[in-house]
Structure 1
Amino acid sequence: MAQEKTTSNPPANVEVDTSYENDASYGDELSSYTASLTSSALDYRHENGRRYHKFRDGSYLLPNDESESNRLDMLHELCLLVLQQKLHLAPIQNPQRVIDLGTGTGLWAIDFADKYPDAEVIGCDLSPTQPTLVPPNVKFLVDDIEAEWAYDTDPFDFIHARYLAGSVKDVGKLIKQSYRSVKPGGWVEFQDWDLYPISQDGSIDGTGFHRYYDKVIGAFADVGYEVRPGPKLEKWFKDAGFVNIHVEEFPIPYGVWPKDPYLKKIGAWFQAQAEDNGFEGAALAVLTRYKNWTKEEVIALSNEARADGRKRDVHPIFYFYVAYGQRPEN
């Protein structure tokens, strides 16, 4: 098959909305093929006022408590907004066996199971924090997706992963594993971030917002986590052997400063998920465990980022990527 790439063309410049007069408006099945789910999987780690997974303790540095679940659910809605209410962009047809890697709260897997009632849908995550009332064709497994897979003896029609940035150390290896585990002719889709913000007008330079991401994302990178997978997805898909590769790139503003109503709405959702304990949640474990920061120092840094992110003259932009490819029929 011929290799093809299509990349969306976001506006060269995201125009700032200057019409604001008041900043106030800114503002029950759990199973695992590699380990039995016993009480130890639910014996969570509690640290600095947040709760963390226990299975493979320490391999994931973000919380798994209710506040984090709420934030992940908001990110799910944000992704639906960005993708025009589409759960995926890959041109799949009549999928029978599907897996969602790093499923989090399981919303994507649940929505997919509703849309494709004939498909068997598996959501895999380190934490058993998904709902118990789910469609009959979805189940959740507790497992480490970076370990050797033991649930792929029957290949998948579609493999999906979303925002693993800062969660996985070798995304390229994971994509190669996905290639081996998808049927010939099947599709794999990864949706992920470049976690470093930019500003087209230089307005984030020297701000607390910029300092936060420099310290926190830099710490994740120092520990070995991949923090900029989005721009690298196309190469990893090619290296794994996929064909018919497509890549889409989406600018995601932080805040309601864009003039365009659609980008303004996206920016509002993105800001809301970060302000809802998102700054602290991302920073606490990596900075206190690996960089000798105190909880109080992390909270102060987070407050600086939150305050600068609310300023009308600060215009951060992140980039979100969707890449999918097909395993050759032969």
Structure 2
Amino acid sequence: MAETPAQEQTTTTIINNTPTNVEVDTSFENDSSYGDELSSYSESLVSSVLDYRHENGRRYHKFRDGSYLLPNDESENNRLDMLHEMYLELLHRKLYLAPIKKPQRVIDLGTGTGIWAIDFADLHPEAEVIGCDLSPTQPTLVPPNLKFLVDDIESEWAYEKNPFDFIHARYLAGSIKDFGKLIKQCYRSVKPGGWVEFQDWDGYPRSEDGSLDGTGLQRYYDEVYGAFEKAGYEVRPGVKLEQWFKDAGFVNVHAEKFIIPYGIWPKDPHLKKVGTWCQAGAEASGYEAVALAALTRHKQWTQEEVIALASQARADARKRDIHTMFDFYVVYGQRPEN
């Protein structure tokens, strides 16, 4: 149900469930200013974030350990950057579709490698841009108007008093348990008249000619996404985004569906190029990246069983007579001026 202005006025922001009265650590009160203890404490926080989990030959985030099932190592970052190029090709080189004008404050949720935020900051030097993610794996050489934060976007936010002109999120499928709550937080944290845009998948593939049916590739997605769903994650957010936006109270909601083929089988040159990037991303250890933690943690598969499943999926995906495709959605909406 959409929130009314009266409800917004009574909203109480809780930061990470912190109590109202924060107790003072009296061990730091001997001196009038912070010195070496600040440096050592901050170093311990940084080291705790960087103390990654290593499992089945892959590296995973440490902050909020276990809340995200995909790795954050170099191989995965390369895959995400390939997908960034695929999204750009899909949207004809557009970073976003929302009709924003001269944004001053922008956040990219689940920024990953930060590549979208970097491109946006270059495109809009007038804007203050924030990229937010569980892992600090972004580069340090970035535009001066961009900064990255380590945070969990499913925790309570604290942006209502300093809202954004534009909130962007892309490819959160499989990483969020309550999209409805997240989008309502976006509503509360965007300025009146500001825009929110989500770009996301229906994670389950399909084929128009039935060529996917009964293949190892279909079994891969059934098994892997079944594990994600067992763990409580939403893997088909794309098709539901429009309703979630309306439920949150957004107006001028626009939803558009795109086709992402897998491989070079489409005749259309544009779709063939998109499909090539899609396959390249999956070939770059994508099958193992998506499957390993989900199946070993939530379905008790062995690493060897996951690798065998991924190998069969990869072999089927390379067959030209299997015409796999995904539905991909771009949905944006505006918070009412009043």
Partner of 1:140: 148
CA drift of 1:152 comes to: 4.3
Root mean square deviation of aligned Cα: 1.2
Instruction: Give the counterpart of 2:124 among 109, 116, 124.
Output: 116
2:190 aligned to 167, 182, 189, which one?
Answer: 182
Aligned to 1:227: 235
Deviation, 1:153, is: 2.6
Residues 144-189 of structure 1: CA distance to partner in whole angstroms, max 9, x if unpaired? 0000113443010000000100010011110000000000000000
Match of 2:72 among 64, 67, 71: 64
The answer to whether the 8 A contact 2:251-2:336 is kept is yes
TM-score (norm 2): 0.87
- The Cα shift of 1:312 comes to 1.1
In the alignment, what sits opposite 2:104?
A: 96
Matches within 5 A, 1:76-225: 76-225=84-233
Distance 2:221 2:102 in 1: 41
Q: Greater relative contact order (Cα 8 A, min sep 6): structure 1 or 2?
A: 1
**What CA deviation, in whole Å up to 9, does each residue of 1:281-322 have, x standing for no partner?**
000001001101000000000000000000111000101000
Q: What's the secondary structure of 2:82's corresponding residue?
A: helix
| Count of residue pairs the alignment pairs up | 298
Partner of 2:268: 260
Stretches of structure 2 that go unaligned for 5 or more consecutive residues are 1-14, 19-41
Amino acid at match of 1:274: A
Q: Which residue of 2 aligns with 1:53?
A: 61
Deviation per CA, 1:82-126, whole angstroms, max 9, x where unpaired?
111111000000100000000000000000000000100000000
Q: CA deviation at 1:77?
A: 0.6
Q: Which amino acid aligns with 2:151?
A: D
One-letter code aligned to 2:73: D
- Other-structure match for 1:29: none
Partner of 2:11: none
What is the one-letter code of the residue matched to 1:299?
I
Distance 1:66 1:161 in 2: 22
- What is residue 245 of structure 1 aligned with on the other side? 253
Contact 2:212 2:324 in 1 (8 A): yes
1:7-65: CA deviations, max 9, x gaps?
Answer: xxxxxxxxxxxxxxxxxxxxxxxxxx969752100000000000000000000000000
1:202 match: secondary structure: coil
Alignment of 1:5-16 (within 5 A): none
Q: Distance in 1 between matches of 2:290 and 2:49?
A: 22
The residue type equivalent to 2:216 in the other structure is G
Label 1:152 to 1:44 Cα distance change in 2 as closer, same or farther (>3 A).
farther
Q: Distance in 2 between matches of 1:142 and 1:89?
A: 26
TM normalised by structure 1 equals 0.89
- The letter of the residue matching 2:204 is Y
Whole-angstrom CA distance in 2 between matches of 1:152 and 1:43: 31
Residues 21-32 of structure 1 mapped to structure 2, 5 A cutoff: none
The question of 1:236 aligning with 2:236 is answered no
The runs of at least 4 aligned residues of structure 1 exceeding 3 Å deviation read: 33-37
- Quick one: distance in 2 between partners of 1:208 and 1:257? 18
Name the counterpart of 1:329: 337
Looking at CA atoms only, which structure, 1 or 2, has the larger radius of gyration?
2
Alignment partners' CA distance in 2, 1:206 and 1:87: 36
Indicate the percent of aligned positions where both proteins have the same amino acid: 77
Give the Cα–Cα distance (whole angstroms) in 2 for the partners of residues 151 and 55 of structure 1.
21
Task: State the match for 1:5 in structure 2.
Answer: none
Deviation digits for residues 190-232 of structure 1 (CA, Å, limit 9, x no counterpart): 0000000000000011100000000001110111000000000
SS at match of 1:287: helix
SS at match of 2:138: coil
**Could you say what secondary structure the match of 1:307 adopts?**
helix
Q: Which runs of 5+ in 1 are unaligned?
A: 1-32
Report the residue type matching 2:303 in the other structure: K
State the secondary structure of the residue aligned to 1:38.
Answer: helix
